[in-house]
Amino acid sequence: MKCTCCGRKKKLLESFEELEKDINICVECSKVLYKYQDAVKEKNVEESNKLFAEIKAKKNEKKFVDWFIKFQERLGEIDKNK
| Count of domains observed in the chain | 1
Q: For residues 6 and 46, give the distance between their C-alpha atoms in angstroms, rounded to a whole number.
A: 22
Instruction: Answer yes or no: is 3 within a domain.
Output: no
The helix (run of H) or strand (run of E) holding residue 27 is: helix 27-41
Helix-strand-coil percent breakdown of the chain, rounded to 5?
50, 10, 40
3-state secondary structure of 5: coil
Instruction: Answer yes or no: is 55 within a domain.
Output: yes
pLDDT at 35 (0 to 100): 95
**Smallest Cα–Cα separation from 9: which of 26, 28, 21, 22?**
26
- Segments of the chain with pLDDT less than 70: 78-82
Instruction: Answer yes or no: is 61 within a domain.
Output: yes
pLDDT at 62 (0 to 100): 93
pLDDT at 11 (0 to 100): 86
Range of the domain at 61: 17-75
Backbone angles phi and psi of 54, in degrees to 5: -65, -40
